[in-house]
Amino acid sequence: MGEREYDAGAYVPPAETEEMELVHPKTFIGKYIWSQDAKVIAIQYGVTATAIGLVALVLSLLMRLQLGFPNAFSLIDPGEYLQYVSMHGMIMVVYLLTAIFLGGFGNYLIPLMCGARDMVFPYLNMLSFWFYFASVLILVAGFFVPGGSMGAGWTLYPPQSISEGTPGSEAGIVVMLLSLAVFIAGFTMGGLNYVVTVLQARTRGMTLMRLPLTIWGIFMATVMALLAFPALFVAALMMLCDRLLGTSFFMPEMLSMGETSDHGGGSPILFQHLFWFFGHPEVYIVALPAFGIVSDLLACHARKNIFGYRMMVWAIVIIGVLSFVVWAHHMYVSGMNPYFGFLFAITTLIIAVPTAIKVYNWVLTLWRGNIRLTVPMLFAIGFIFTFVNGGLSGLFLGNVTVDVPLSDTYFVVGHFHMVMAVAPVLVIFGAIYHWYPKMTGRMLNDTLGKVHFWITFLGTYVIYYPMHFMGLEGVPRRYYAYGETTFISDSVQTLNVVISIAAFIVALAQVLFLINLVWSYYRGRDAGPNPWRATTLEWQTEHTPPRHGNFGESLPLVYRWPYDYSVPGASEDFIPQNVSPEETRWQAEGRQS
């Protein structure tokens, strides 16, 4: 089928839109600290998220030391182990992944890819970052309060999260809940901004069905986050009341360390419903931007249009909507009414259909392409492999019966690390290798990038794939040590040693990445405006890196969808979105004569 039917060249007449006024500060502080430029805010988000992510990485290494070599080092005791498990999970999911995808890539790419000068509410955008920054500071303070940080698991389940006998129940949990509340307030400011910018500030000709999938992914994730985070917000406030004011929203009649407590009448399972009403969409809040970004990486580096663009858009929307009606699949064995299991197993497995379609379309994008195995492309391929693995193991856990023996085992740990830790992180790396040239004007070092890719991709597979089999054997998660049991074979300990060693190697490889980021900033090869020969608007800016206001005198005019790669008859193997049909015709004729 030809490109003509697919309105790629249809001309959209300019509409009257007012140019927004931007504040151009002169001082260093105005430009880089209290900045209202989305691109600077994006980098602030990215650096903060990476820094706190490194803390969580170190925590995971301490855990791996204990699991691989139990009681050999005496570095952490059982309480600290739980604290590190909890903080590692919370930081990675909320403070790293959510922040870097929406605050980082969202801020950088939404205005540029939509053809806007900046976010619609720049001042609010600045506040959003500083709220996030404050929430990270509060989170870090949690490590230093009496009793140490929160240690109830990232899921914060009451009653134990606020009862004696759980590490961090004295002060750590209070600090954690406060930090979450501040994070959510800050995110709401940013999120409103992203949504309004995508809906209202697109340049002329940029119809919704001409948006790059990156923007679709980030947009849908933001809408979901705006709807999901309030559930966590109220749950956090109610738990704070239970802890500080003695209310009993989530606290039943119970004992605390064998003594009668003053609580009574509350429902711990209510908290789980609220938490997972946030928690499950959260998985897709992290996954959808990754889906979007990886689609753009694949199309650009395979020099081919994304296969089935409309289907991809609808899949994102459907996944977003469905993800709000699957939350209780995290609670199959929670003691909720077991008949819920039927409903939630059905909704959960339905969501596999649009997700599978996305995978097919990524692979079909490679089919009959012209694949450049650049570093971003390697990471994109690594993502597909890892995501397919993690997605398929989700079919075990989503199917209520199969979940029963596997829940709360290492199968779950393996599954969610594959699907929402390694897979999105591979996309983050791919995206950084892809857009770093636009952010800095220099290319990242290719050799270092490839070494980084290979160690990370293979290493994480060695870490997480065998964990599924430990889970089949029934090895429970969140255990400080296993001691002697009648069902865990001795060879599991050997496996734990292998996994721990792999974890250390993968962690070391990340140092290479950080070195690459710094070294290339000063010494990297000059990138030029569009090193990947990409079609989307951020590569068509007048300056690289783009200045405040992004585009030159006038905003670009969009004539086509973002995937005009290898269009038959065109002189180049890509046609940027802002190139008019007249220009391409003229270029093609010029080539012929």
Partner 1 sequence: MAIAIVLIVLALGSVVFYFLSPWGLTPLASNWGAIDATIDITFVVTGAVFVAINVFMAYAILCYRFKRQRRSHYEPENKKLEAWLTGLTTLGIVALLAPGLFVWGNYVNVPDDAHEVEVIGQQWHWSYRLPGDDGRFGDVRTHLIDESNPFGLDPDDPAGQDDVLIDSSHVKLPIDRPVKLMLRSTDVIHNFKVAQFRAKMDVMPGQVSYMWLTPTKTGDFEAVCAELCGMAHFAMRGRVEVVEQGEFDDWVAQQPTFGELQDVGEGDPEAGAELYARCVACHGPQGGGRQEMNAPRLAGLDDDYIERQLRNFRQGARGEHEADRFGQQMRPFAMTLEDREMNADVAAHIETFPVEPTRPTIIGDAERGERFYRSCASCHGADGEGRRALKAPRLAGMNDWYLVRQLQHFKDGVRGRHPDDWYGNQMVDMAQILVDDAALRDVVAYIGTLSGGESSPQQDSEQARAEE
User: Residues 405 to 464: which contact partner 1 by CB under 8 A?
Assistant: 405-409, 458, 461
Q: Tokens in use for 589?
A: 């004729």
Minimum distance of partner 1 from residue 86's CB (angstroms): 9
Q: Is 15 in the site for partner 1 (CB under 8 A)?
A: no
Nearer to partner 1, 100 or 570 (CB): 570
From 339, 518, 522, 593, residue interacting with partner 1 (rule: CB under 8 A): 339
Which 477-496 residues touch partner 1, going by CB under 8 A? 478-487, 489, 491-492, 495
Minimum distance of partner 1 from residue 434's CB (angstroms): 16
Segment near partner 1 (CB under 8 A), from 13-21, 322-330, 340-348, 428-436?
340-348
Segment near partner 1 (CB under 8 A), from 43-51, 90-98, 156-164, 503-511?
156-164
Minimum distance of partner 1 from residue 318's CB (angstroms): 12
Distance between CA atoms of residues 443 and 437, nearest Å: 5
Distance between CA atoms of residues 271 and 536, nearest Å: 43
Q: Is 325 in the site for partner 1 (CB under 8 A)?
A: no
Which residues sit opposite 56 in a β-bridge? none
User: Which is nearest to 548 in space by CA: 15, 143, 20, 66?
Assistant: 20
Q: Is 318 in the site for partner 1 (CB under 8 A)?
A: no
Distance between CA atoms of residues 225 and 279, nearest Å: 10
Can you give the three-state secondary structure of 288-321, one letter per residue? Answer: HHHHHHHHHHHHHHCCCCCCCHHHHHHHHHHHHH
Nearer to partner 1, 230 or 493 (CB): 493
Q: Phi and psi for 347 in degrees, rounded to 5?
A: -60, -40
Q: Is 17 in the site for partner 1 (CB under 8 A)?
A: no
Minimum distance of partner 1 from residue 142's CB (angstroms): 17
x/- mask, partner 1, residues 165-194, rule CB under 8 A, reads: xxx---------------------------
Residue pair 477/411 in contact by the 8 Å Cβ criterion: no
Distance between CA atoms of residues 115 and 555, nearest Å: 7
- Helix (H), strand (E) at residue 260: strand 259-260
Minimum distance of partner 1 from residue 237's CB (angstroms): 21
Q: Is 3 in the site for partner 1 (CB under 8 A)?
A: yes
Q: Is 586 in the site for partner 1 (CB under 8 A)?
A: no
Q: Is 246 in the site for partner 1 (CB under 8 A)?
A: no
- Helix (H), strand (E) at residue 259: strand 259-260
Segment near partner 1 (CB under 8 A), from 27-35, 214-222, 238-246, 369-377?
369-377
Distance between CA atoms of residues 507 and 502, nearest Å: 9
User: Which is nearest to 331 in space by CA: 286, 277, 287, 285?
Assistant: 277
Minimum distance of partner 1 from residue 107's CB (angstroms): 30
Distance between CA atoms of residues 327 and 269, nearest Å: 13
Distance between CA atoms of residues 174 and 162, nearest Å: 9
Nearer to partner 1, 86 or 197 (CB): 86
**Collapsing DSSP states into helix, strand and coil, what is residue 149?**
strand
Q: Is 393 in the site for partner 1 (CB under 8 A)?
A: yes
Minimum distance of partner 1 from residue 508's CB (angstroms): 20
**Collapsing DSSP states into helix, strand and coil, what is residue 415?**
helix
Helix residue ranges per DSSP H, 165-303: 172-200, 213-244, 268-301
Q: Is 256 in the site for partner 1 (CB under 8 A)?
A: yes
From 198, 384, 425, 443, residue interacting with partner 1 (rule: CB under 8 A): 384
Neighbours of 385 (CB within 10 A): 14
Residue pair 426/297 in contact by the 8 Å Cβ criterion: no
Minimum distance of partner 1 from residue 185's CB (angstroms): 28
Residue pair 202/266 in contact by the 8 Å Cβ criterion: no
From 199, 404, 498, 514, residue interacting with partner 1 (rule: CB under 8 A): 404
Instruction: For Cα atoms 567, 570, 573, give the angle at the middle one, nearest 5 degrees.
Output: 60
Query: Binding-site residue total for partner 1 (CB under 8 A)?
Result: 124
Which 260-289 residues touch partner 1, going by CB under 8 A? 260, 264, 266-269
Segment near partner 1 (CB under 8 A), from 417-425, 465-473, 500-508, 580-588?
465-473
From 11, 77, 514, 526, residue interacting with partner 1 (rule: CB under 8 A): 77
From 346, 451, 512, 588, residue interacting with partner 1 (rule: CB under 8 A): 346
Q: What is the DSSP string of 524-554?
A: SPB--S-TT---SGGGG-SSSS--TTSSSSS
Which 47-76 residues touch partner 1, going by CB under 8 A? 70-74
Minimum distance of partner 1 from residue 590's CB (angstroms): 18
Q: Tell the burial category of 270 from Cβ atoms under 10 Å away from its Cβ (0-12, 13-18, 19+).
A: middle
Residue pair 429/513 in contact by the 8 Å Cβ criterion: yes
Nearer to partner 1, 3 or 501 (CB): 3
Q: Is 567 in the site for partner 1 (CB under 8 A)?
A: yes
From 15, 29, 245, 257, residue interacting with partner 1 (rule: CB under 8 A): 257
Question: What is the CB-side half-sphere exposure of residue 529 using CA atoms within 13 A?
Answer: 14
Q: Is 1 in the site for partner 1 (CB under 8 A)?
A: yes
